[in-house]
């Protein structure tokens, strides 16, 4: 299934399928994420957004197809998944911070243990990143002493600490109170301006509109429509997309 890779493609997904038992969750996904590009992955709950992101980070094994990172097939059994994950950053919907560690230890754990940085250099960089995301002075707090928005920014910092080639963001704002969404949104917008390559699963249409270069609409495990945010959000072609957007509009999420 491996086709010729596009030169500036960072992540290429080619004919990826995944079933849990007899439930087909991904039904043949093709998607290319280029350098400095941000793609928003939208779709109803259960359409397979999280599963796709987890497949890319090799947290879930795919059934068929290929996923490439910088032209290398990473879904081949001979590839070391740990080495792949060290090149990617993942931010979870529920933050998944390590509750027994301080904020700074959350951020430096991967840098020190996975990337072999010295404690000193990891701490310095973590401090800079935390400062940048408005978390200066919170280094020694435990995650449960922070608000949801702060926790998610710590999670974002943790993902960035490994200097990822691309960031995979899984509904990073949907566990947050509406008034806290803005902080995280700003942080992600910032990263985009800096040129970070990102795949963003989201229910938050402001993400799609303000951060993404492309929007891909996932429906029952297939990307049935893809294009610029303006076009997809304003004049979707597929009835499924229209229905999805109408429902979001009714729920006041656009």
Partner 1 sequence: MVLTSEGWPDVQETFFSADAFKTSFPEILKGFWLDVKLFVGVEIVVLILGLLIAVIRTSKVPALFPIRVLAAIYCDFFRGVPVILLVYLIGFGIPALELSGMPDDPVILAAIALSLAYSSYVAEVYRAGIASIHPSQSDAGLATGLTRIQTLRFVVIPQAIRRVRPPLLNDFISLQKDVALVSVLGIAEAFRIAQIETLSTFNYTPLLAAALLYLAVTIPMARILDHITAREQINA
Site for Mg ion in 194-253 (CB under 5 A): none
For 100, counting Cβ atoms within 10 Å of its Cβ (0-12 exposed, 13-18 middle, 19+ buried), the class is exposed
Q: Are 73 and 12 in contact (CB under 8 A)?
A: no
Q: Does 48 bind ligand ATP (CB under 6 A)?
A: yes
Residue 233 in contact with partner 1, rule: CB under 8 A: no
Q: Determine, following the binding rule CB under 5 A, whether residue 51 of this chain makes contact with Mg ion.
A: no
State the minimum distance, in angstroms, from the CB of residue 122 to ligand ATP: 32
Residue 61, CA distances (Å) to 10, 52, 65, 171 in order: 20, 10, 11, 21
Minimum Å distance from CB 170 to Mg ion?
Answer: 6
The set of residues, in sequence order, having a beta carbon less than 8 Å from that of 110 and lying 6+ positions away, is 86, 158, 161, 162
Helix, strand, coil percentages, rounded to 5, for the chain = 35, 25, 40
Instruction: Report the chain's C-alpha Rg in angstroms.
Output: 18
Rounded to a whole number of angstroms, the distance between the first and last alpha carbons of the chain is: 38
Residue whose CB is less far from ligand ATP, 43 or 162: 43
51 binds ligand ATP (CB under 6 A): yes
37 to 66, contacts with partner 1 by CB under 8 A?
54, 57, 59
219 touching ligand ATP, by CB under 6 A: no
43 binds, among Mg ion, ligand ATP, partner 1, none (CB under 5 to 8 A by kind): ligand ATP
47 interacts with Mg ion by CB under 5 A: no
Interaction with ligand ATP in 148-177: which residues (CB under 6 A)? 171
Interaction of residue 98 with partner 1, rule CB under 8 A: yes
CB of 100 vs partner 1, minimal distance in Å: 5
Cβ(39)–Cβ(233) below 8 Å: no
């Amino acid at each position: 299934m491996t086709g010729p890779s596009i030169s500036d493609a960072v992540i290429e997904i080619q004919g990826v399928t995944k079933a849990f038992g007899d439930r087909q969750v991904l039904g043949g996904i093709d998607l290319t994420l280029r350098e400095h590009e941000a793609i928003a992955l939208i779709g109803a709950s259960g359409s397979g957004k999280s599963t796709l992101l987890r497949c890319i980070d090799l947290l879930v094994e795919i059934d068929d197809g290929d996923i490439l990172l910088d032209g290398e097939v990473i879904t081949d059994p001979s590839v070391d998944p740990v080495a792949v994950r060290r090149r990617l950053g993942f931010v979870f919907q529920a933050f998944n911070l390590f509750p027994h560690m301080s904020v700074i230890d959350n951020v430096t754990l991967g840098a020190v243990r996975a990337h072999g940085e010295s404690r000193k250099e990891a701490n310095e960089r973590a401090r800079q990143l935390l400062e940048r995301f408005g978390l200066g002075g919170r280094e020694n707090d435990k995650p449960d002493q922070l608000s949801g928005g702060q926790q998610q920014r710590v999670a974002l910092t943790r993902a960035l600490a490994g200097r990822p080639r691309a960031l995979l963001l899984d509904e990073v704002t949907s566990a947050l109170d509406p008034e806290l969404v803005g902080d995280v949104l700003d942080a992600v917008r910032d990263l985009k301006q800096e040129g970070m390559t990102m795949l963003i699963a989201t229910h938050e249409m402001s993400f799609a509109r303000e951060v993404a270069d492309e929007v891909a609409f996932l429906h029952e495990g297939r990307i049935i429509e893809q294009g610029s945010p303006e076009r997809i959000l304003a004049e979707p072609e597929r009835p499924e997309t229209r229905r999805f957007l109408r429902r979001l509009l009714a729920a006041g999420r656009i």
